[in-house]
Amino acid sequence: MFVLDLFSGIGGFSLGLMAANYDDYDFSLYPHEQKSKSDDYFKTAAFCEIDAHAKKVLAKNFKGIPIFSDVTALDKRALNEKGIDSIDIITGGFPCQDLSVAGKRAGFEGERSILFKEILRIADETKAKYILFENSEQLITNKRLFSVFAQELRAYGYGYRAFLFRASDFGYPHQRKRAFVIAYSTSQRRAIWDKADFSKFAIKNQFKGQKCALLNGVCERVSNLRKKGSITPCDIRDIRGDNGISEAVERVKQYGNSLIPAIPCYLGKIIKSVERAIS
């Protein structure tokens, strides 16, 4: 299944779906170090990301995959020009500042969260089978917001299943509660999704003790800064490097804006099971 990764950041969605290609993906290792073999079920066809630093990370870790910059200018023609004729899944961790309790709570009409409608426009043009959304927990816990969100999905012909996950559900030592929604094209998929049994996809502590290899890179970076004496231990500003030269700020910003890859891995395994049931 070909994936169009919108609002890509450093590629957390694509890494997670790629991990779903393996029977037993170890997030403490890089993809080329995996012991099991990929079935290549999910393949990222293109990214769309506006941040210059994040684009450099994507270009380094996902070599050869096209990277678009402006989601408002991205359409089927632009994809075709890059040789991309088919999109099955669109992922979108669209900006959450207008939904989050930490933001101005402008809702879907805010200048950032209105980009949600760009995802639906592109999904409609490409006839995507699935859309995977990630956002602030407010997306589904705020009844007013979720009502608008669900209404828009139905208007474009998509059913949905919503999830509220914590990083700790996957064995990580922090909460990071986030909303995830799988939107699926209706018709035969609706019947299967309505009866889908997610219990066989165990998630509790499935990844306990594992650390994402990319996260290890951040820890090493901070450790090196400490050795140089540029930051002091137990300083709440350690990672930000608030010493006049913020060496790590861009790197940490990207992790803060990213997601736990184990979650889209879990969702990808469910999608794979449903699609195989259809075929």
pLDDT at 109: 56
Residue type, 68: F
Please give the structure tokens belonging to residue 88.
Answer: 């099955």
Which candidate in 48, 96, 212, 265 is catalytic?
Answer: 96
At residue 19, what are phi and psi to the nearest 5 degrees? -65, -30
pLDDT at 207: 44
Active site residue 48: no
How many residues appear in the chain?
A: 279
Given a contact cutoff of 8 angstroms between Cβ atoms, the answer to whether 151 and 131 are in contact is: no
Please give the average pLDDT of every successive group of 10 residues along the chain, which has 279 residues: 95 94 88 91 96 91 95 96 97 66 50 77 95 90 88 92 84 82 82 69 46 42 42 42 53 68 91 85
pLDDT at 47: 97
Instruction: For the domain covering 2-208+260-278, report its CATH number.
Output: 3.40.50.150
Which residues in the chain are classed under CATH 3.40.50.150? 2-208+260-278
pLDDT at 76: 96
pLDDT at 144: 87
Distance CA(154)–CA(157), nearest Å, equals 5
**80: Cα separation from own chain's centroid:** 24
